[in-house]
């Protein structure tokens, strides 16, 4: 059985995970970044990813150099405009971290305050016509946001 030892270690790792922390959809990287920053992961995946005290943070984790901020579609069914959709979500965060993680080692991390990110996203999406509101950053481009404000 080729994966027997790896599965045994994973069973031990899962037994040590805090309640509500998943290792799916970037969960290993989020766990590694939270440990690196001294944050606590939130339960579920609908809002921010982690918190420190009362402050909440969004995490984008990649093993490559691609960090996606996905806000769904422009078309809203509740009368809300796409701008309000983005404002509502991003304004809940103190800021966002992008981290390049290999296994459970945080190789590189960058942080942007939510106000800077929000201003950038609203301007960016106002210049696009596509229905999906997805912005992809490289680490270099994400770090450049801090210098452009």
Task: Check residue 147 and give its pLDDT.
Answer: 66
φ/ψ of residue 46, rounded to 5: -95, -25
106 within 8 A of 99, measured Cβ to Cβ: yes
Cα three-residue angle 52-24-104, rounded to 5 degrees: 65
Instruction: Report pLDDT for 18.
Output: 75
In the chain, what are the domains?
A: 21-148 (3.40.210.10)
| pLDDT score of 26 | 65
Taking the model in full, what pTM does it have? 0.85
In this predicted structure, what is the pLDDT of residue 59? 96
What is the three-state SS of the chain?
CCCHHHHHHHHHHHHHCCCCCCCCCCHHHHHHHHHHHCCEECCCCCCCCEEECCEEEEEEEECCCCEEEEEEECCCCCCCCHHHHHHHHHCCCCEEEEEEEECCEEEEEEEEEHHHHHHHHHHHHHCCCCCEEEEEECHHHHHHHHHHC
**pLDDT for res 7:** 73
* pLDDT score at 102: 84
Res 38: pLDDT: 93
- Tens-digit pLDDT string for the chain (149 aa): 665 887 788 778 878 877 766 665 567 888 889 989 999 988 776 789 999 999 999 999 998 899 999 999 988 767 789 999 999 999 999 999 999 988 788 999 999 999 999 999 999 999 998 899 999 999 999 999 986 65
| Residue 46 token pair | 């609908």
Structure tokens of 16? 């040590």
CB 44 within 8 A of CB 36: no
pLDDT score, position 4: 81
């Amino acid at each position: 059985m080729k994966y027997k030892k790896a599965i045994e270690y994973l069973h031990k790792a899962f037994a040590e995970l805090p309640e509500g922390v998943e290792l799916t959809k970037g969960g290993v990287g989020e766990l590694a970044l939270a440990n690196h920053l001294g944050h606590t992961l939130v339960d579920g995946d609908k809002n921010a990813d982690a918190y420190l005290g009362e402050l909440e943070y969004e995490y984008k984790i990649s093993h490559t150099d691609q960090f996606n901020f996905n806000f769904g579609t422009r078309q809203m069914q509740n009368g809300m405009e796409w701008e309000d959709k983005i404002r509502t979500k991003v304004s809940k965060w103190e800021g966002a971290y992008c981290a390049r993680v290999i296994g459970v080692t945080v190789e590189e991390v960058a942080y942007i305050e939510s106000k800077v990110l929000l201003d950038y996203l609203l301007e960016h999406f106002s210049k696009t016509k596509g229905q999906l509101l997805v912005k992809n950053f490289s680490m270099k481009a994400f770090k450049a946001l801090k210098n452009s404000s």
